[in-house]
Amino acid sequence: MKKAISTITILSFCFLMQLGCSKSDSTSTPTPTTPGGNTSGCSTAVPGSLFKEVKTLLANNCVSCHNPDGQMPTVNFRDNCVIQSKASLIKQRAVDLGNMPPTGPLSQNDKDKITAWVTAGGRVTD
């Protein structure tokens, strides 16, 4: 009985922590995670060719879940600033680990596009 109560307590704590971390504040600025680390101006920046290719592949493979109405509404891949701020995570999950998208791994060509973009700096302008 004590083991069941402990397990329920731990699971409840984890759930509450996840819930607290997943809430999005629409007034907050995304935390930069890209090389260079600055997201200022990303919403008005002219997209570079590498970024355009990555945004297209995200639209084709990821936006169905990663949008305000999808399964992952806190990560909106329709927003250039969000894409830029998540550059390293996108590469890690889709290229290095290969566990995104959940429908199956990306083609090697798409993985190469992500890698080239992140290596170039992972910015909207790249």
Q: What is the Cα–Cα distance from 17 to 15, expressed in whole angstroms?
A: 5
From the centroid of its chain, how far is CA 71? Answer: 13
pTM above 0.75, yes or no: no
Helix 49-61 × helix 108-120 angle, to 10°: 140
Q: What is the Cα–Cα distance from 84 to 30, expressed in whole angstroms?
A: 9
The structure tokens listed for 109 are 């060509």
Could you report the per-residue pLDDT of 30-72, keeping only the tens digit for each? 333 334 345 667 878 899 999 999 999 999 999 999 989 888 8
Which pLDDT does position 2 carry in this prediction?
56
The structure tokens listed for 27 are 């007034």
Which pLDDT does position 12 carry in this prediction?
47
Which pLDDT does position 8 carry in this prediction?
53
Q: Is the dihedral of CA 113, 102, 90, 115 positive or negative?
A: negative
Confidence of residue 123 (pLDDT cuts 50, 70, 90): very high
Could you report the per-residue pLDDT of 6-29, keeping only the tens digit for each? 445 454 444 434 444 443 333 333
Calculate the alpha carbon distances from 50 to 16, 24, 53, 67 in Å.
Answer: 38, 28, 5, 21
The amino acid at 2: K
* pLDDT for residue 113 is more than 70: yes
The amino acid at 94: A
